[in-house]
Structure 1
């Protein structure tokens, strides 16, 4: 492209001009067919990236709920739930990537389309064809959407299962009721979905993607496979052969156990919670800035948008072409989601009153109310920017004040306040993917509900199996000779319950203590966003809303966690693709950027799966192999801290005396 005087404008090539003309003609046809008035014409390029990526065509003859959907989604839903729960207790972190699921489900779906007979199964008036035709993009998308989805005191099997089901399903009900505000408006992009939109259209070779002119005449699928295989091979270098290239910034991996999750006294001795807890677990006594910045930023910069979306939802209007296109399909009434939510909330009260007796019913209602208010704000930030804070700290803090000295209550409060928001966020993102791919709303309702139930049930069954078989290793009373099992993720959850529940924020965060300063984070986060909003009013030609303090703080949280190896590569990718390519070579960006992203994600996912299952002992301790020693993984150190599976937990520096 040739650059002209305005740096944000470009002269398109003839091929790009022809494609734009084709898009405009197609848009005009669909605008007329769905009855879009001229009032909406100005909103067509509202989010330009979406316009460039998401097709404006829809084949209404495609069916999403098929026999293949039920078989494949249930199979991968069970596998995904088992793997996710399995890795929760393992040192090696296996990733059950959605791109892995997408490729495998495509292979299985196309095979079923070739093999299965075309006859239908009839049960009364209900009939379902075993093979309704070629494996189509809508059932494929719905399968992917469906799949995405230890404390000293024991809870009964029934109580544990009901707890898992109620937390998952509360988030489901919330997502359904919020979809008109956080899914349908055009501004709610949910950026990660755009990569999947390109992936699905590429693998199914849809007409709009087939017509695009690619380099050397390659198809989207060929580009996907070439870069996917290349990334799969390359991924072994930093993840297996050269771990030195990953998390030893400033020599942190030689300081003993920098990422341990146990609690310590200041002198380095381990803190034994049993010395300060009674038998029933109450206390034995006779990233604040990010959340505040998120709330302040959303209220200041997007408050008017939220009110506008609410008014449009009440009046039944849609503000983009995708919403108008989907009106051909029957909508899911809000009453369905509301009734489901009320029923599950009642179940949650039953669980708390009969099994988690430290959390009273009124405490549960406070947790649910917090989830509602903060989910709207946080998910607005997530939808618009792709980043947002969690509710884990604020829910622990609030419960620590209203129910001090009760760690079980604190953890349950966190589950119903934070985890339901997290589940709601995932479901809202999936609803947006279904929105972009024109999946009928009632098919989405069935698919997401089925995925939620299957995931909760098999998460629970796998958890019970692992705890019963590895209990002594997980609680520390027995060593693990293979060094494959640990409870670090459980310790994170449990440690938070002890800090905020047993000890309580009134003791941990006193003004005279070591951590009293953290409360200033609320003030700093809120004030900075207000200042930026005031500057946007004084100098409207500068895009002050793009200076998002919440996102900046979220990035800073990567450093204490130790997982900093992706920051530089991510920054380079953003500068090259989002800043330079999108501005000055938009046609190239439209064709290649997101297909490359999906290819690299898919290749990385396959590398992680292979390493987890067949190299790092994911299937069996016998399938555990260390990489050859060389300078790329500290071959000269004895013992070599970077070669151990638990690179931050198995090596203790003899000079280390402090705690974490």
Structure 2
């Protein structure tokens, strides 16, 4: 690297040139960031263009519709934002080559825009991908609507359902505004998953000379992309069985114990392996984006739980564990049959009938499901302890230095570039959004005949829990690419404070868990924009619009299917060959029974 690196930036609207020394360039404390993220920026590149809005909104709508439509099917299909990231590149270049460059003025305003402001650029592509990210992740609240209409067979006001989907997705943006200084601006919060995105963007857009006898980034990407796409057809269409191969099950095919030990789907998976990358990588999402120490920690925990604790519990028949399946997310009665929730719920009040419950059966879980819940509680507490011990000092110092000059040691070259070139998002934007969404959330639960059962204090408590965990969980996600959720602890808390109300339980869980999760998603995308030098205000606008559009499409698609397909999700009434079995919603429904109905009993 040369001693000085030239960088162009904007001061008071004028372009000027500044030399950045090696001391400034190399001050990122994370080696992976130094090797991956570019240290240059051109603030004159247009971002929020006509192409950005068209391709971004189109990606958002299509991904939202497809992902929600296939969620209810036996073989659900999920399309990630990476697909849109790849497809929109040639579309953007096509628009740049064919659209006219004439400037249009908006009547009665000083605004003007061009259909074609120049070559399709990297910053447009990043914002389009942010749009697609909003469409790739569906509103958790749709699960509530699904279990009410499809599992509990009850009605819900369409406007209450729509507001529920919107407010749960938007509430977390307020929390993100409170913690962005620590989880975005800090160079120690590096969000490993974003580096994969940065590498892909650079491969797609940067001109690179192919090394002699080697491959350029683009050539390597295309080779892997085509090969993986071609191979994906084999386990998903021609030979689905290779997703989980088990020699133990083949040898002792009539033995129940052998199936429990060897099955990779319903058992311990000893002697089982998969040739489907989706199966191999499913437990971490993308192991290539997760630090090695995090993978090994996960592996050790998995071995201790699945190969030590679970077999001991099951084969010693502790708490009658053998009466229920070895691995299952269902709930059972005392005889090992699926729990009949209709026998203990009052049809008028939609709350538990304790007399009917006592005369029927307690709620029972499989040994594996019980450990999953117990370890979830331990994970949350361990997360707080870990952050305090390993990151407490830096977090406290960052808090004290928040309002100090840009030269403090908690800023790296990327933060300085962003502050020099672009206006930050005002804090009052987040505050106003938070107040509006919080008010709508309370109205959603208190209005509409209180169909959701959750009183106003439940919303406030859910918000308090989300605020408490955003920072510690955010630190873990920003440094290990892993982080626990609040879905279990929120179920437990409201189950004890407000028992016997299944809808109140899942609504509280959604406001607490998803508002924190959305805050982290917002911060993750904001860090990507930070690395790619996207104007923060453009990022905020794209994320906000993308979330509203995606929530609307997800809700509309779910409502259409739930009201048009007879007996959707009901395995007992559906035809044998029906694909509308809702495999993912069954777990959510069971959780509403465990914590919303039977928590205290």
Global fold match (TM > 0.5): yes
The answer to whether the 8 A contact 1:34-1:324 is kept is no
Are 1:284 and 2:263 an aligned pair?
no
After superposition, the Cα gap between the structure-2 partners of 1:61 and 1:27, relative to the gap in structure 1 and judged at 3 Å, is: closer
Question: 5 Å matches for 1:130-169?
Answer: 130-149=115-134, 150-151=147-148, 152=152, 153-169=154-170
Distance 1:290 1:453 in 2: 32
Are 1:72 and 1:143, in contact at CA under 8 Å, matched by a contact in 2? yes
Contact 1:142-1:444 within 8 A present in 2 as well: yes
Q: Which has the higher contact order (CA 8 A, sep 6+)?
A: 1
Deviation at 1:364, TM superposition (A): 0.8
How many residues are treated as equivalent by the alignment?
479
**In 1: Cα distance, 2:563 partner to 2:344 partner:** 27
SS at match of 2:105: strand
Aligned twin of 2:392: 303
Deviations 1:609-658 (A, max 9, x none): xxxxxxxxxxxxxxxxxxxxxxxxxxxxxxxxxxxxxxxxxxxxxxxxxx
1:312 maps onto 2:401 in alignment: yes
Change (3 A) 1:29 1:44: farther
Q: 1:42 to 1:197 in 2, by over 3 A?
A: closer
SS class of match (1:216): coil
Deviations 1:277-305 (A, max 9, x none): 11222111262121111111011111112
Aligned pairs for 1:94-173 (under 5 A) are: 94-124=77-107, 125-149=110-134, 150-151=147-148, 152=152, 153-173=154-174
Change beyond 3 A, Cα 1:148–1:243: same
Q: CA deviation at 1:477?
A: 5.0
Q: 1:424 aligns with which of 487, 510, 519?
A: 519
Structure 1 residues 345-494: aligned runs within 5 Å: 345-355=438-448, 356-476=451-571, 478-494=573-589
| CA–CA separation in structure 2 for the residues paired with 1:33 and 1:386 | 36
Alignment equivalent of 1:497, drawn from 583, 588, 592: 592
TM-score using structure 2 length? 0.75
8 Å Cα contact 1:473/1:480 also seen in 2:
no
Aligned residue number for residue 431 of structure 2: 338
State the 1:29 CA deviation: 9.3
- Structure 1 stretch 367-376 or stretch 349-358: which is displaced more? 349-358
1:197 is the counterpart of 2:198: yes
CA distance in 2, matches of 1:96, 1:429: 19
Write the distance in 1 (CA, Å) between the matches of 2:508 and 2:404.
36
Selected match of 1:275 from 343, 357, 368:
343
Is the contact between residue 261 and residue 488 of structure 1 (CA under 8 Å) also seen in structure 2? no
Q: Distance in 2 between matches of 1:422 and 1:403?
A: 23
Q: Residue 76 of structure 2 aligns with which residue?
A: 93
Residue 228 in structure 1 maps to residue 225 in structure 2: yes
CA gap 1:187/1:371 in 2 versus in 1, 3 angstroms: same
Asked if the contact 1:174/1:424 (under 8 Å) is kept, the reply is yes
C-alpha RMSD over aligned residues:
2.5
Deviation per CA, 1:401-456, whole angstroms, max 9, x where unpaired? 11111111100000100011112221111111000000001110111011011101
The question of 1:26 aligning with 2:95 is answered: no
Q: 5+ unaligned residues in a row in structure 1: which ranges? A: 1-20, 508-660
The answer to whether the Cα contact below 8 Å between 2:36 and 2:198 also exists between their aligned partners in 1 is: yes
Mapped to 1, the partners of 2:556 and 2:226 lie a distance apart of 35
Deviations along 1:469-493, one digit per CA (max 9) or x if unpaired, are: 2241323452234342212222211
* Deviation for aligned residue 1:36: 7.9
Deviation at 1:41, TM superposition (A): 5.0
Q: What's the CA shift for 1:172? A: 2.1
SS of 1:314's equivalent in the other structure is coil
3-state SS of paired residue (1:121): strand
Give the deviation of 1:80 after TM superposition: 1.0
Distance 1:411 1:450, change over 3 A: same
Q: Secondary structure at the match of 1:26?
A: strand
1:3 equivalent in structure 2? none
Partner of 2:258: none
**Residue 170 of structure 1, CA deviation:** 0.6
Distance in 1, Cα, partners of 2:515 & 2:353: 30
Q: Secondary structure at the match of 1:315?
A: coil
Alpha-carbon shift at residue 171 of structure 1 (Å): 1.5
Query: Does the CA contact (< 8 Å) of 1:113 and 1:131 recur in 2?
Result: yes
1:377 Cα deviation (Å)?
A: 0.8
Q: 2:51 aligns with which of 44, 65, 68?
A: 68
Measure the CA separation in 1 of the matches of 2:179 and 2:588.
28
Residues 330 and 442 of structure 1 are in contact (CA less than 8 Å); yes or no, is this contact kept in structure 2? yes
TM-aligned CA distance change 1:404 to 1:34, over 3 Å? farther
Report the TM-score when normalising by structure 1.
0.69
**Structure 1 residue 155: Cα displacement:** 1.9
How much has 1:98 moved relative to structure 2? 1.8
Q: Is the 8 A contact 1:116 1:131 kept in 2?
A: yes
Aligned residue in 2 for 1:616: none
Task: Provide, for residues 34-69 of structure 1, a one-character-per-residue CA deviation record: whole Å limited to 9, x for no partner.
Answer: 79899x759714001000000001111111100011
The Cα shift of 1:338 comes to: 1.1
Superposed, 1:237-276 pairs within 5 Å as 237-247=234-244, 250-252=261-263, 253=265, 261-276=329-344
